[in-house]
Structure 1
Amino acid sequence: MSFGALSPNAIRALNKGAKMGGFAHDTGEGGLSPYHLEHGGDLIWEIGTGYFSTRTKDGDFDPDQFADKVAHDQIKCVSLKLSQGAKPGVGGVLPAAKVTKEIAEIREVPQGQKCVSPSSHKVFRTPVKLIEFVARLRELSGGKPTGFKLCVGSRADVLAICKAMLQVGTTPDFIVVDGSEGGTGAAMLEFEDHVGMPLTDGLMTVHNALVGVGLRDRIKIGASGKVAASNDIVKRIIQGADYTNAARAMMMAAGCIQAQLCHTDKCPVGVATQDRRRGRALDVGDKSERVQRYQEATVQGALQLMAAMGVTDPGQLQPHMLRRVVSETETRSYAEIHEWLAPGQLLDEVPQTWRADWELASADTFHPVRPTIRRS
């Protein structure tokens, strides 16, 4: 949802809608723009591998610039992006045609040149250094909640990060799990279709890993990846999330018609363009109301679904309440299909089904195993 990929009016509409509805607006990795701050909506400042809006001339992280900007009252928490669902292992891309003078100034990159984020972070190279950097960001922000977002590549990777938390003695405040269902115009189809875990698998992996090492009660889990309807919210909470994020659906609420012209800077509805004439097609007042109403109606629908299930609090949702069709004549609950670890189980006696990944995982490397390619 970065400014640069999206137009000024799209950012305005999303943030104003968030202000009206009392929910948070993630900046995306494209930096902190004046349009994010114009209407006063709560912000999650997402920082990617390019460190846009908080980088040195050489593209390194600038702690002084970060500390100055993160102090803004609208910024409620900080999210460090490791990877995203549509293209795990690949940095973001903003075509040269969209890198205007304004975008170049906000991102602190050359004007008129293709803006490509690195595939990995310069500040850290190991799980231990990741956790230490998250703690540093939290300290620089004055204690604002700080976490990270990733698309899960393997269970061993997640366990390596868990081991790093235990070794360092601190944790992120939240982890956002992005599923491979995520979409973007800046990803190769091979990555969209074949790399990274789908949200269901990634989410349950992170949830169970944190439960297994006894840290689940200290870390909130967010879920993103084609979360659009009320049933998506309920389903993801059952699978281990505390909350959900929506990007594509919010873009549609703001007017996106999926014209698939994002990369050309010729979006006909003013959502994904830096052409000011085209951007006028998006009426901020109208679209901010649509954004607010969409969020309100979707959350209300989730509450109605939970009420129909006999649930009065999201914490009462359990795996046996979610069922999957496994054949033409049989459905089984997630409690039956999947393994759910007990608190601290990985520290006491590692189950046989987790032992190989647990032994492979190391707090000193993100790559305990070779990456795999998913079959469609």
Structure 2
Amino acid sequence: MRLRFTHATEFARHYERYLPFAVAVLLIPMGLLLIGPAPVLGVFVALLGLAGTAVGIHDLTQTQHALMRNYPLSSRMRYLLEHFRPEIRQYFVEDDHAETPFSREQRAVVYRRSKGIEGVRPFGTLCNVYSDGYEWLNHSMATTHLPDQDFRIRVGGPDCTRPYDSSVVNISGMSYGALSPNAIEALNRAAKAGGFAHTTGEGSISRYHRMGGDLVWQIGSGYFGCRDADGGFSAERFTEAAADEAVKMIEIKLSQGAKPGHGGILPGPKVTTAIAEARGVPVGVDCISPSSHSAFSTPRGLCSFIARLREMSGGKPVGIKMCVGHPWEWFALAKAFRETGIAPDFITVDGGEGGTGAAPVEFADHKGAPLRDGLMLVHNTLVGLGIRDRIKLVASAKIVTAFDICRISALGADGVNMARGFMFAIGCIQAQACHTGKCPTGITTQDPDRYRALVVPDKAVRAARFHAATMHALKEACESSGLRHPDQFTPHHLMIRTGPREVRSAASLYDWLQPGELVSGAVAHPAFAKYWHRAQVDSFAMTA
């Protein structure tokens, strides 16, 4: 008896993986027997059994998936749960502060402000204020009372004849091609209504960017909108496009750590007629950005290119956008700025935290310096060279709230660009389907059936309302700290908990260079001590 029981147990263990398939097979005769006393139920059970049996037979006979072959039918549950895992985690598992990549709290703030809903919180903070890394801004007993919230910065160095008074909060570069036409149009209409700027992304100026909003024309290595037949830079086409009154500034995109070049278009799709119109690329071909610029190859060459674009645009501000990579390459650029006397009017520092488009996991997770580290290196370098006052610094990466703006301002930024914050404002739900072309909200897709559901006037109002509410919160943050403008935040205002009984300001926690320190002599800062003297203005390579 014990032997038989053991054999039965082993048999059950061996064949239990076929149990769901066996149940499906048994449902067929059970359904047929039920047709007499309960016709509707019997037909339903029989059909359910037939469908399950058919799927089970397919699983047993297919040769692509070993799991499905060993576990017919039951393995389907695994694939189903895996498919819905991101949604299950986002809506039921993760806490309000888990940034994957944006937390529920961050998204909720944008949604509330874009809809004009009160954003106050009852009963105190949900943050653990005694955990390592917790940050806060010191407030003042001598508060200020500001007349308005329209904080501006003047962008334009000594060689710029047409400076631009920019809002401190603008829309970051998101190309038409990565975003749908309705999304681009809504953002540009919001920029017009709110009096802030809309960066085009490297995909150039499309018809959907021409809704009256101020534009920052971004030029990548593909030279879209100003390219010749061979894909090189065309001075004639640039001059023609830069003359547009909507174009307030020009931004040369050098690198973005989180995403290799796809021309600001989702990988895979061919160029459509509307995209071709904006970019000057033939219809039906792949749209790929080269890995580097062909108009220059050295730091000195970049300076000449900046001066050339500034002249051809009629004196408009010209800047660069980059994610900090090799420190000696950035140092080479900075040395070239000082040696040639030609510097960008602004530098947009992008963070390696990732952008709005799709990227390989290796790039998204492990390429490029995070925003704070990159920004502080750039800020320190310009201060150390004594040229910080002529170049505005714009921070761009995972910035959503007024605290984010104040914090990054304390670390050296003059203004910020937001991408995903404005995407949330027009309806993004962080489905993370941007790379599939099947965005459920119609924002990151070229499928008309999907993006037509995105109602432009309503979304434009929401984006403009989000900007206004953020600026109002920024105004209150400045007033409570006793300041009159966000650019008055310093590292002394930002406090960071480094242990259960230790708190330090950013001023004491990080190394900061003094004005002109790089010119006058040796620097103790480890990055400069190691790489500064190995950078050269005529090459991006590090000297021996």
When the two structures are superposed, what TM-score results if normalisation uses the length of structure 2? 0.65
Which of 164, 171, 177 aligns to 2:343? It is 171
SS in 1 for 2:474: helix
Separation in 2, partners of 1:263, 1:199 = 23
The residue that corresponds to 1:13 in the other structure is: 186
Judge which range, 41-50 or 96-105, deviates more. Answer: 96-105
Q: Is the Cα contact below 8 Å between 1:18 and 1:41 reproduced in 2?
A: yes
Q: CA deviation at 1:109?
A: 2.3
Report the Cα offset of residue 91 of structure 1. Answer: 6.5
- Indicate whether 1:41 and 2:244 are aligned: no
272-281 vs 71-80, greater mean Cα deviation: 272-281
Partner residue, 1:373: none
Verify: 1:358 aligned to 2:532, yes or no.
yes
Say if 1:70 and 1:141, in contact at 8 Å, map to a contact too: yes
Q: Does 2:385 correspond to 1:194?
A: no
Equivalent-residue separation in structure 1 for 2:244 and 2:420 (angstroms) = 27
| Rg larger for | 2
**SS of corresponding position for 1:205:** helix
How far the C-alpha of 1:93 sits from its partner, in A, is 5.0
User: 1:329 aligns to what?
Assistant: 501
1:320-345, CA deviations, whole angstroms, 9 ceiling, x for partnerless residues? 11112212221211111111111111
Q: Tell me if structure 2 keeps the 8 A contact 1:226–1:246.
A: yes
Q: Is the deviation greater in 338-347 or in 268-277?
A: 268-277
Change (3 A) 1:55 1:321: same
* CA drift at 1:183: 2.4
Quick one: which amino acid aligns to residue 361 of structure 1?
Answer: A
1:94 CA displacement: 3.2
- The equivalent residue for 2:385 is 213
Instruction: Report % sequence identity.
Output: 52
Q: Which amino acid aligns with 1:256?
A: C
Matched, 1:227 2:402: no
- Mark the CA change 1:315 to 1:110 in structure 2 (over 3 Å): closer, same or farther: closer
Are the counterparts in 2 of residues 124 and 133 from structure 1 also a CA contact under 8 Å?
Answer: yes
Give 1:92 shift. 4.9
**Could you tell me which of 504, 520, 525 is aligned with 1:348?**
520
TM-align CA RMSD: 1.8
Q: What is the aligned partner in structure 1 of residue 223 from structure 2?
A: 51
Q: Which moved more, 1:355-364 or 1:40-49?
A: 355-364
3-state SS, counterpart of residue 277 of structure 2:
helix
Q: TM-score, normalised by structure 1?
A: 0.94
Q: Deviation per CA, 1:225-272, whole angstroms, max 9, x where unpaired?
A: 011111111011110010000001111111222233333322222211
Asked whether 1:22 is paired with 2:192, we answer no
In structure 2, C-alpha distance between the alignment counterparts of 1:122 and 1:58, rounded to whole Å: 11
Deviation at 1:295, TM superposition (A): 0.8
Judging changes above 3 Å, is the alpha-carbon distance between structure 1 residues 268 and 313 closer, same or farther for their aligned structure 2 residues? closer
Contact 1:90 1:119 (8 Å CA) reproduced: no
TM-aligned CA deviation for residue 346 of structure 1? 0.3
**Distance across 2 between alignment mates of 1:88 and 1:351:** 34
* Residue 207 to residue 188, structure 1, CA distance change in 2 (3 Å): same
Provide Cα deviations, 1:98-153, integer angstroms capped at 9, x if missing partner. Answer: 52122123222243333211111111111111111011111110000000000001
Q: Rate the CA distance shift 1:6–1:255 in 2: closer, same or farther, 3 A.
A: same
- Give 1:117's aligned residue: 289
Matched residue, 1:100: 272
Gaps of 5+ in 1: 371-376
Asked if 2 retains the 8 angstrom alpha-carbon contact of 1:98 and 1:274, the reply is no
